[in-house]
Every structure is written in structure tokens, then in C-alpha cells.
A and B are shown apart, each in its own frame.
Chain A
Amino acid sequence: MLVLEQIHTYYDRIHALKGVSLTVRQGEIVTLIGSNGAGKSTTLRAISGLIKPRLGRILLDGQPIDPLPAHAVMRLGISQSPEGRRIFARLTVEENLELGAFTRNDKPAIRADLERVLALFPRLRERLRQRGGTLSGGEQQMLAIGRALMSRPRLLLLDEPSMGLAPLLVEQIFRIVRSINEQGTTILLVEQNAHAALSIAHRAYVLETGTVVLEGPASEVLASSQVREAYLGS
């Protein structure tokens, strides 16, 4: 479904991604793990069109999407829940979710998707009229994921959904991510919490200073001594 071929990106003169290649197949959860600064978020930003790769290609269903601006990529069915829960803090929960469906016109279907999101995240239903900024961290994360789902994406990009959340909440969020996948959405999950991510993913890529150092089925990556030492602390 999504293929990255030898992507190189730069922030000014800093070479952030040094030839990253990865593949996401229909129906999978693929996780991208790595430490701070490895280039995980940069990879997501390149996919969603917020930064342009200087070299390499990004293909969606065989079509190059790297030249497209972010809003056009989004219209092709790739939706992102950004890092650090960047919700619209001064808008209500409902308005946030509605903006997620900005590209769509079919009112009844939007209504149905709103119900679907609220069924996934019952906490949001209680807070529909509340401002986004007044939610707790976990609720904001739910809102960010819910907003991304409102565009009915084929591919959902999740950037560090566990960041800054209590362990119990992390578990809850990952359960929901898995059920979103089971309902048919392909997911590319970027995480620092390697253990949690590997436990729900089908396949994994390990990123280190802008290059993929390890890839394979999640269970194998979890078992690899390299990963155990670097990220799982044992």
C-alpha cells in the first residue's frame, strides 16, 4: 500500500533521514521504533507531505505522493494524529472532530463516523462541548486519534500516542489502536515505547540516526538482542 524508497530529508544542512525505505501492506499495523532524534517523526512528516524529501520516492498504491502538498496527501486517505497531541485547544471537542472530516461533504456518513469515534472513545462523548485544551492528556490523545479517524483514512499515521501518558492509559490507547486496525484501517505507528508498540504490531522497523537498522515481524524484533539492549532495558 505505502512504499518509501530511499528517502533522504534535510533540515537546512542537517541530514535527518539517510535513505529510509519501508513498506506498509494493506491491513497491517507497522511500527517504527527508535530513540529520540532517530528520525521517526521526520519519516511521518515526509509521508504526510509536511516536509519534502530531497531524494527518494514515496508511493501510495504505486503512485508517487511525495510531490503533493499536505492537504492533497490527506485527501488520498492518509491521516495523521500528530505528535504531542496537537489538538485545536480553543475549539470544542465536537468542533475538533468536525474539522477532522473537513474534506468530506456527506453529512449522514460524517454523523455515522462521529458515532463510531465516540463509541471507540466514550470519554469524548461526555466532553463534546468542552474545549479541547481542558481535556486531560489521555483524553487529548483520544481526541487527536479520533480527529484523524474522522476523515475515514485508509492509512492512519500515529505519532507517539503513548507520550506522557500513565501506563494504564497507554494500555487502553493501544487496545483501541488494535481495534481500529481490526475494523480495517491500516496503521503506521511511531513509538518510543517499543515494548507496547511491538506487542500490537505485525511488523516493525528500528530506526537509528536516520537509517533503518533492523526490520522484520514484530515478534522477531522483540526477541532480537539488539533491540532488547537498546530499548527494552534488559
Chain B
Amino acid sequence: MGMLAARHGLRTGALAFVLLTYLTLIGLPGRLADLAMPVLAGVAAIFFWLVLRRNPQLGGIYGSLGGTALWAGLLAGGFYAVLTAFFAGLLANGVRVQLVFDKIVPQNLAALYAVMPGALLSGELSPVGWLRQVGLLGLAGVAAALLVAGERWLRRRELPPLAALRWLPLLLPFVLLAAVIGLGSPAVTFGGNNQGTIRLLLAMLAVGSGIFAARAVRPGGARRVLWALLAAALVGLPFLLDQFQNSVMGIVFIFVMMGLGLNIVVGFAGLLDLGYVAFFAIGAYVYAFLAAPFSSPWLIAQLQGWGLPVSGPLVSFWLALPLTMVAAGLGGLLLGIPVLRLRGDYLAIVTLGFGEIIRLFMLNLAELTNGPRGLLNIAPPTVGGYSLGNPRDIFLLALAGAALIALVANRLDGSRLGRAWVAMREDEDVAQATGIHLVYTKLMAFAIGALFAGLAGQLYAARQTNIFPENFSLFVSIDALSLVIVGGMGSIPGVVLGALALKGLPEVLRGVDEYRIVTFAALLVIMMIVRPQGILPSLRRGRELQEQGGSRADQPSVLETLPDNAGGSPLAQKER
């Protein structure tokens, strides 16, 4: 246990301490009651394990590996005990800590010592409580070291029976799904008020792990069977979830539809579009005009002028589909033409402006759009007289839409047009010199991407029933772009995972109340540091990262892989 172990250990321990402090400040111990310390120790153990296994240069369990782990655990435990003692002291002396940290109240803190709040306030904490904290975190370190050592031992042997069990993780999505079903039955009570949230989380994890599982299998028959099973499970999911859960999943999959469209523009063709919300808005508004003309003063006047009734929708949801898609696709062309010559940052700025222009149109063309008062009472889709407006139906429709778009996007990826996009993304001049029609290729990317956003917009309008210009702010564009980046640019399954993480997770995190967005932001930052290529990068990008291998420093960050092809400095161009 030399200097190396001490240095590594202290650094890891300090990081774990920050993590534990954060979890304490957002009030996790209070929710876990007596289990607080063991759970925190478990979190720390997982953290230690993740850090230690990335350091293959650490020696054996009695050497620098064990040493590092022990140092880390004891340091985190020591610091943590000091922190809790400090807070306990303040509370015992009548300082109202909750004015600053609103979750540091006697109940929450007492959970860490496994004592009654009264004992905490009287200041009679026995050293056993602190020793327990240091000891448990020390144990977490030892456990992590054992795990890493065990992992290495297994990998060295390649035991045949274990290799045969490799398919076990493929069961995970189905186990999770079973848990979702189980939690839904009245016989099972678990987690009290949080049961619904836990179910939602499990449902999301089931979808996410299913995608991972299907990707882990080699292409061929087995993979197809797995996809089919997953599809069946997905179709069943809306019938298992309650209203709130379905409504969350509905919005997640509307964003999947949008993300898939944006993925074509940004991921495939490499055109950084920051105003993507414009096409979403066009889709939503066009559908609203058709389905709720009675909300628009101008349309009412026109219809009355022609002697038509103004009380109901003009066309059904299904008839409106091609119309909104065409309108959004035209919007894409309209944006595409002026920006044909722009690249990289300049393109991003212009598209950003375009997104805002559309929103401002909706806000200020009050005669047509009813301005900030919005378009109201938009008709839901109907089938044979039945309304499909409830959250479950919307989720189903969003699933179908997302599946359709994913299929089209997948075909496009391997097509001639897809190859033209790749070439254009890499180098516009050379692409042109290989015979690629740049204008056509670029406009197709904008138009197809926009068309999908229009489809998503129509479904969104039907889901909301009322739409307002504020629904289509810049943040929608940012959300869509973030989910493409988080999922892994250019990757279709990545978009689904990105949407689950970005639009689904915040809903699940409602349990942590006001710390929801902070927690979410922290997760995003960690994610971008640990896995800059996105959760599930496309095969090409995955391969690129593999070949570069080695140190993380030479992995291209997401922004670098955002192909500002030749848009940047002439220097960057030379290097290529």
C-alpha cells in the first residue's frame, strides 16, 4: 500500500464524500429511514467499484487495489461522520439549519444514526453512530475491492459454465416487465406512495434494457426474435400503466418521434439545427387549424363567408396526417433554401432564429392563431366513433408513430441518400466532387427531418387538446437536440434511450421534489464526462471510438463529432 494507493484512495474517497453529501442534502436518508446508512454505503460501494475497475494498473487485493479501496472508504466515512456530527451539533444547539438546507431536519439526520429524532436533539449521540458510518463506508470500499478482484479472477479463467450464462442479461427486460405487472396488482404493496413512480421507472428501464439486449445479440434470427418479443411487450405496456404513467410515456415517445427526425438532420447529415421546434410547431398548428377552426377568428370568418359550419373539426385526425406532414416538410424546404451555403456555427445560429420566428408568428398573428390565448378544444383522433384521446391511446399512437419513423430512418441510413448524407457530413467539397448533388441532399435532410417533426407535432396537439405559442419555445429544440446527443448521435435506438433519460427521468425524479432539476443536471454532466459518445452510439461512431481506443483524451467529444465540416477554421480543415 504505497503512495499510489493512498493518492488514488484519497481522491476516490473525496469524490464519494461529495456524492454522499449531495444525497444527504436532497433528503434521501429521511425517505429510507433505518435503511439510510446501509443504502448509502451500497451507493458508495457501487461508486468505488466503477472507479476501481477503470484502473487496471492497481495491483491485487492485498496490494494497491485493496489499499486504494480501504483508503477511499475510510476517508469518505470519516468525512461523512464529521459532516453529520456537525449538522447534529447545530441542530442540538437549536440552529435552524433547514433555513439553508431544507432537508437537514432532525428526522432525516436521525435516520443516519438509526436513532429517534429526540435522541439527536438532546445531543446524546453515542460514538457508536459515527463508528457505524465510518465502518459501513470502509466496508463499502472492501466490498468494491473484492468485486473488482473477483471480476478479474473470472475474466482470467473464462469458466465455461459462466460463459454459457451470458444470455442471462437478455432476460432483464422481461424480468423488469414482470415487476411492472406485479407492482400493478392490488395484492402487492411496496414503497408506499412511491409505488407508481417505481413502476414507471421499471417500465422505462425495461424498454431501455430491452434495446440494449437486442443490440447485444448478433444480427440474425435470434435478434429478430428478441425484437419481436420486445415489440409485443411494448404494445402491451400501455395497458399495464395507469393514466399518469401512460401520459409520461406518451410525451417520451412523442419526443422519440421528434428525436428520430432531428437525428436525420444532425446525426446523419451533420447539419446542426437549433430551431427544430419550428417544424414541431407547424405540425401542431396546422392540425389545430384543421381540427379546431372555431378557435381562430380568421378561420371562422372565412368559413362563415363560404357558408360552412364552424362548430367542429374540418377533417379527421387521419386525413390531417398527410396535410401536416406536407406543411412541415415545406417548412423544412423553406428553411433549407436560404441556409444551403451555411455550415457549422452559422447554420446553428440561423436555424435558431428560424425557430424563434415561427414561435413569434404564432404569438403575433393573433387573427389566425388566436395569439397567446392559443387554439383550444383540438379534437382527438377517433376510430369508428371512438375517441382515442386518453393517455393510453396517445401512448399507443406515439409508439406506432415512433416505430414507423424508426423504420423509415433505418432504411434511409443504409440507402443511397444515407450515404450521400454521410459524405456531405464529412466533406462537402469532396462529396460534390464524387457526384453528390449537394442542394438536393441537403434539402432532403431538412425536409424529411421536418416532416417527422410535423407528425410529432400533430400528435402533440391532439394530446394537449389546447396549444399555445409558449409550448414551442427554444427549450423544445434544446431538449430534442440533447436527447439525440445523450442517446448517441446518428443512432436510432440511442434516440429512444435519450428520450427516456431526458424526458422520462425528470418525471420519475419527482420524488426528490425541488432537487429534481439539479439532480438531473448532475446526471447529464456525469454522463457527458463518462460517456461522451452518448449512451448507445451508432455503429460507425462506436467503431471510431474503438479504433482511437486508449486514453479518453483523444475521444472526440460530441461537439467535435458534430461535423461542422470545414465550417470552422482553415486549420481544422488542414488537419483532416
Contact = CB atoms under 8 A, between A and B. Distances in A.
Interface of A: 48, 50, 69-71, 74-75, 79-80, 82, 84, 86-91, 95, 98-100, 102-103, 130-131, 133-134, 147, 151
Given A103-B434, A130-B547, 13 more contacts: A48-B433, A71-B432, A71-B436, A71-B438, A75-B435, A88-B423, A88-B430, A89-B426, A91-B426, A95-B419, A131-B547, A147-B434, A151-B434
Nearest to B420: A102
A147 B426 CA distance: 15
B437 A88 contact: no
Contact of A102 (B429, B436, B547): B436
A99 B429 contact: no
A98 B426 CA distance: 14
A140 to B, nearest CB: 11
B576 A86 contact: yes
26 contacts: A50-B433, A70-B433, A71-B432, A71-B437, A71-B438, A74-B432, A74-B433, A79-B433, A82-B429, A84-B574, A87-B430, A88-B423, A89-B576, A90-B544, A95-B419, A95-B422, A98-B419, A99-B434, A102-B419, A102-B420, A102-B434, A102-B435, A131-B543, A131-B544, A134-B547, A151-B434
A100 B419 CA distance: 11
B479 interface: no
Contacts of A99: 419, 422-423, 431, 434
Nearest to B422: A91
B546 to A, nearest CB: 10
A84 B574 CA distance: 8
Among B419, B430, B434, B436, chain A packs the most CB atoms within 10 A around the CB of B434
A75 B433 CA distance: 10
Interface in B177-199: none
A75 B423 CA distance: 17
Which 5 A-B pairs give the minimum distances between C-beta atoms? A103-B435, A74-B435, A70-B432, A88-B426, A86-B430
B427 interface: yes
Interface string B411-430: 00000100110110011011
B420 A86 contact: no
Among A48, A70, A151, chain B packs the most CB atoms within 10 A around the CB of A70
B572 to A, nearest CB: 12
Among B419, B422, B435, B547, chain A packs the most CB atoms within 10 A around the CB of B435
A75 B435 CA distance: 6
B390 to A, nearest CB: 46
Interface string B540-551: 100110010000
Given A88-B426, A99-B419, A80 B433 contact: yes
A86 B576 CA distance: 7
A134 B548 CA distance: 9
Given A91-B422, A102-B420, A86 B434 contact: no
Given A90-B544, A91-B422, A151 B435 contact: yes
B426 A90 contact: yes
Contacts of B544: 90, 131
Contacts of B540: 90-91
Interface of B: 416, 419-420, 422-423, 426-427, 429-438, 540, 543-544, 547, 574, 576
A50 B427 contact: no
B341 to A, nearest CB: 13
* Chain B residues touching A, majority SS: helix
Nearest to A45: B429
Nearest to A84: B574
B245 to A, nearest CB: 41
A147 B433 CA distance: 11
B433 A102 contact: no
Among A88, A90, A91, chain B packs the most CB atoms within 10 A around the CB of A90
B176 to A, nearest CB: 36
A151 B436 CA distance: 12
A234 B574 CA distance: 32
A71 B430 contact: no
A75 B437 CA distance: 11
A48 B430 CA distance: 11
A100 to B, nearest CB: 6
A151 B540 CA distance: 24
Contacts of A71: 432, 435-438
Given A131-B547, A134-B547, A74 B426 contact: no
A80 B431 CA distance: 11
A75 B432 CA distance: 11
Contacts of B433: 48, 50, 70, 74, 79-80, 82
Contacts of A103: 434-435
Among B432, B544, B574, chain A packs the most CB atoms within 10 A around the CB of B432
A160 to B, nearest CB: 14
A86 B429 contact: yes
Contacts of A88: 422-423, 426-427, 430
A165 B434 CA distance: 24
A134 B544 CA distance: 10
B423 A102 contact: yes
Contacts of A133: 576
Contacts of B547: 130-131, 134
Nearest to B563: A90
A86 B423 CA distance: 12
A151 B432 CA distance: 13
Nearest to A98: B419
A110 to B, nearest CB: 13
Contacts of B420: 102
Contacts of A131: 543-544, 547
A84 to B, nearest CB: 7
A162 to B, nearest CB: 18
Nearest to B429: A50
B351 to A, nearest CB: 23
A56 to B, nearest CB: 21
A147 B416 CA distance: 17
B555 to A, nearest CB: 13
A99 B420 CA distance: 8
Contacts of A69: 432, 437
Contacts of A84: 574
Among B420, B437, B576, chain A packs the most CB atoms within 10 A around the CB of B576
A44 B347 CA distance: 29
A216 B337 CA distance: 46
Contacts of B576: 86, 89, 133
B432 A50 contact: yes
A131 B542 CA distance: 12
